């Protein structure tokens, strides 16, 4: 970096920690281009090196770490707690089935698979609509409302009498839960710079993995209750009531935006806003930033559509397989309660691996390699589970542990990848909503892991293996395409003057990541 460019960058970052400097001024400075910055930009494009926010001065580094700690303490745990119960409320049907849920109410076991498929039929298509609605009305208010709704519906499972009621409730719970995950990911993207984001999404998403472990423990405990109700009824009542209680605090606990956090002082609020502008100038005034152009541009976004198919296939493990994981473990010969208990260690290991991979992804500012590494672990686990005889309970269980170790990694890193490659907050919200269609994997999983394939589930596991391999190849292809697009942009930028590049930064002719000056992260 030349001296002039270094001086300019230090100057801009120094402004970020000075409360008297406005966010608008920081945004304007970020978009300026001199000859040194023009050369830097070409190098970044040539090497596909996406910069994002980096704390420079010692003062700024202290402010950056302090702010992250505050958000990590007040925002992430609460979001994770709600998502924990989201995961519990989604997966408890599989746990209930190990306690004879279907036979107790007189419906065929296949009805559970049908109800799960229908849940995803409402849950998945509505995600972009729900996340856009949340952006318009206020994300924290929206999250509180939908959490309350699915808590009530979860509790209602305890009073189901027939298959029609089960299907109706699962359809409604799909509607209620549709906007939760993408809305929270979009919400977190307002608080953390792009290369702090994957770790935080992992903290949040890890609660879904932990839900599998807690789901097994809670189910085990509920099934030991000797009362007037079935064990599965206590399961639905307890989990639903907890969700309802937590939902009431959401609008009051979660801040509406970084600059409005109740736990920050005035100086920290100003810095929190300016830090995100340094990460991308488009983050200026991002709280309710959503236009029709954002919607149209998101629907036309080629990088989303070449990534989504592989995200769907990679999500078969976390979204489809894990719902029926208790039944697969039961197939190893464990009893109903013990089958739930034996699901705990794989989920704990899966969560630990997710956190390690996400931290590494942020630290090295790299996404694709980490996703491919995770899918490779899933592939190895599937091969072991398929090839080891069912009689070898220990070996087959070890295969399931390895499978779960890589299962939860790709989805949150993909979300962070797409968020980092979409600088406009409004468009980013829609992109993350559509990316939620990765949950279509739940439909595939519910139709694969049918009871007729018990106890070894060979056919579903083999199909899952083939789809995960296809996902591995697809993600590698996305990496290559983005690298080629960056090089194409670099050639065009090389023929432009600094003034033309600055005009490209500020012009509305090309929108968001389509600008020649935007570098796609890999």
Q: What is the pLDDT of residue 165?
A: 93
Gap between the terminal Cα atoms of the chain: 22
Q: What is the pLDDT of residues 105-153, one digit of tens each?
A: 999 888 887 887 788 788 878 889 999 999 888 999 999 999 999 999 9
User: Residue 452 above 90 pLDDT?
Assistant: no
Q: Give the span between the Cα atoms of 438 and 441, in whole angstroms.
A: 6
Q: What is the pLDDT of residue 281?
A: 83
Element (H, E) at 173: helix 163-177
| Top mean-pLDDT range of 277-281, 377-381, 399-403 | 377-381
User: Residue 2 above 50 pLDDT?
Assistant: no
Q: Give the span between the Cα atoms of 339 and 393, in whole angstroms.
A: 13
Q: Give the span between the Cα atoms of 222 and 398, in whole angstroms.
A: 27
Q: Environment class of residue 135 by beta-carbon count within 10 Å: exposed (0-12), middle (13-18) or buried (19+)?
A: buried
Would you tell me how many other CB atoms lie within 10 Å of the CB of residue 332? 18
Q: How confident is the model at residue 340 (pLDDT cuts 50, 70, 90)?
A: low
User: Residue 217 above 60 pLDDT?
Assistant: yes
pTM above 0.95, yes or no: no
Q: What is the pLDDT of residue 262?
A: 95
Query: Which residue in 291, 258, 477, 228 sits closest to 368, CA to CA?
Result: 477
Q: What is the pLDDT of residues 84-110, one digit of tens each?
A: 888 888 778 878 888 888 899 999 888
Q: What is the pLDDT of residues 175-191, one digit of tens each?
A: 999 889 899 999 999 99
* Cα separation values, 203 from 131, 185, 279, 356, 416, Å: 21, 11, 21, 10, 12
Q: Give the span between the Cα atoms of 366 and 49, in whole angstroms.
A: 9
- Output 344 or 305, whichever has higher pLDDT: 305
Cis peptide before 38 (omega within 30 of 0): no
Q: What is the pLDDT of residues 141-161, one digit of tens each?
A: 999 999 999 999 999 999 999
Q: DSSP letter string over 436-448?
A: GGGGHHHHHHHHH
Q: Give the span between the Cα atoms of 95 and 327, in whole angstroms.
A: 8
Q: What is the pLDDT of residue 390?
A: 77
3 state SS for 481-510: HHHHHHHHHHHHHHCCCHHHHHHHHHCCCC
Retrieve residue 39's tokens.
């050369």
Q: Give the span between the Cα atoms of 74 and 72, in whole angstroms.
A: 6
HSE-CB of 411 using CA atoms within 13 angstroms: 30
User: Residue 213 above 90 pLDDT?
Assistant: no
CA angle 187, 175, 162 (to 5 degrees): 145
Q: Environment class of residue 58 by beta-carbon count within 10 Å: exposed (0-12), middle (13-18) or buried (19+)?
A: exposed
Q: Are 378 and 317 in contact (CB under 8 A)?
A: yes
Q: What is the pLDDT of residue 399?
A: 85
Q: Are 336 and 330 in contact (CB under 8 A)?
A: yes
Mean pLDDT computed over 490-497: 92
Hunting for tokens 């013990």 — which residue is that? 338
Element (H, E) at 75: none
Q: Are 167 and 263 in contact (CB under 8 A)?
A: no
Would you tell me how many other CB atoms lie within 10 Å of the CB of residue 266? 9
Q: What is the DSSP letter of 353?
A: H
User: Residue 490 above 90 pLDDT?
Assistant: yes
Mean pLDDT computed over 310-316: 93
Q: What is the pLDDT of residues 459-472, one digit of tens each?
A: 888 999 999 999 99
Q: What is the DSSP letter of 316?
A: I
User: Residue 22 above 80 pLDDT?
Assistant: yes
Q: What is the pLDDT of residues 237-252, one digit of tens each?
A: 999 999 999 999 999 9
Mean pLDDT computed over 38-48: 89
Q: Are 493 and 38 in contact (CB under 8 A)?
A: yes
Q: Are 15 and 21 in contact (CB under 8 A)?
A: yes
Mean pLDDT of the chain: 88
Mean pLDDT computed over 31-45: 88
User: Residue 3 above 50 pLDDT?
Assistant: no
Q: What is the pLDDT of residues 468-485, one digit of tens each?
A: 999 999 999 999 999 999
Q: What is the pLDDT of residues 271-285, one digit of tens each?
A: 999 999 989 888 887
User: Residue 5 above 80 pLDDT?
Assistant: no
User: Residue 1 above 70 pLDDT?
Assistant: no
Mean pLDDT computed over 16-27: 82
User: Residue 303 above 50 pLDDT?
Assistant: yes
Lowest mean pLDDT among 9-13, 22-26, 379-383, 459-463: 9-13
User: Residue 254 above 90 pLDDT?
Assistant: yes
Retrieve residue 236's tokens.
């639905």
Q: How confident is the model at residue 323 (pLDDT cuts 50, 70, 90)?
A: low
Q: What is the pLDDT of residue 339?
A: 66
User: Residue 321 above 70 pLDDT?
Assistant: no
The pLDDT > 90 percentage for the chain reads: 50
Go through the domains of the chain in sequence order and give each one's CATH number: 67-255+290-483 (1.20.1250.20)
């Amino acid at each position: 970096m030349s001296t002039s460019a270094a001086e300019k960058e230090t100057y801009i970052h120094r402004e970020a920690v000075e409360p008297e400097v406005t966010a608008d001024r920081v945004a304007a400075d970020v978009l300026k281009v001199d000859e040194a910055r023009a050369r830097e930009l070409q190098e970044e494009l040539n090497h596909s090196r996406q910069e994002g926010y980096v704390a420079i001065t010692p003062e700024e580094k202290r402010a950056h770490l302090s702010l992250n700690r505050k958000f990590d303490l007040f925002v992430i745990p609460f979001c994770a707690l709600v998502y924990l119960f989201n995961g519990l409320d989604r997966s408890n049907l599989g746990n209930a089935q190990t306690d004879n849920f279907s036979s107790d109410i007189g419906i065929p076991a296949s009805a559970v698979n049908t109800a799960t498929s229908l849940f995803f039929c409402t849950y998945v298509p509505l995600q972009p609509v729900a996340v856009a609605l949340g952006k318009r009305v206020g994300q924290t208010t929206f999250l509180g409302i939908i959490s309350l709704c699915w808590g009530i519906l979860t509790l209602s499972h305890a009073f189901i009498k027939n298959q029609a009621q089960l299907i109706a409730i699962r359809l409604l719970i799909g509607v209620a839960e549709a906007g939760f995950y993408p809305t929270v990911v979009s919400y977190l993207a307002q608080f953390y710079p792009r290369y702090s984001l994957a770790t935080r999404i992992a903290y949040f998403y890890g609660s879904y993995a932990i839900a599998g472990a807690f789901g097994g423990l809670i189910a085990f405990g509920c099934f030991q209750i000797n009362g007037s109700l079935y064990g599965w009824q206590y399961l639905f009542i307890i989990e639903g009531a907890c969700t309802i209680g937590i939902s009431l605090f959401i609008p009051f606990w979660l801040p509406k935006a970084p600059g409005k956090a109740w736990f920050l002082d005035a100086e920290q609020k100003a810095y929190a806003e300016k830090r995100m502008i340094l990460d991308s100038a488009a983050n200026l005034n991002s709280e309710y930033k959503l236009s029709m152009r954002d919607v149209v541009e998101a629907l036309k976004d080629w990088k989303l559509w070449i990534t989504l198919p592989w995200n769907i296939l990679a999500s078969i493990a976390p979204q489809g397989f894990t719902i029926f994981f208790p039944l697969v473990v039961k197939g190893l010969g464990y009893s109903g309660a013990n089958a739930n208990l034996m699901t705990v260690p794989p989920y704990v290991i899966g969560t630990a691996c997710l956190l390690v991979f996400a931290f590494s992804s942020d630290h090295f500012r790299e996404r694709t390699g980490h996703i491919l590494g995770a899918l490779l672990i899933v592939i190895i686990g599937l091969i072991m589970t398929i090839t080891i005889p069912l009689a070898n309970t220990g070996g087959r269980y070890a295969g399931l542990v390895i499978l779960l170790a890589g299962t939860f990694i790709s989805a949150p890193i993909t979300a962070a990848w797409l968020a980092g490659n979409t600088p406009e907050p409004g468009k980013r919200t829609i992109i993350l909503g559509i990316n939620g269609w990765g949950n279509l994997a739940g439909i595939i999983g519910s139709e694969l892991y049918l009871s007729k394939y018990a106890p070894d589930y060979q056919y579903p596991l083999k199909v899952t293996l083939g789809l995960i391999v296809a996902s591995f190849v697809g993600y590698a292809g996305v990496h290559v395409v983005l690298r080629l697009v960056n090089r194409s942009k670099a050639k065009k930028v090389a023929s432009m003057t600094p003034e033309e590049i600055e005009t490209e930064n500020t012009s509305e002719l090309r929108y968001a990541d389509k600008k020649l000056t935007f570098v796609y992260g890999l």
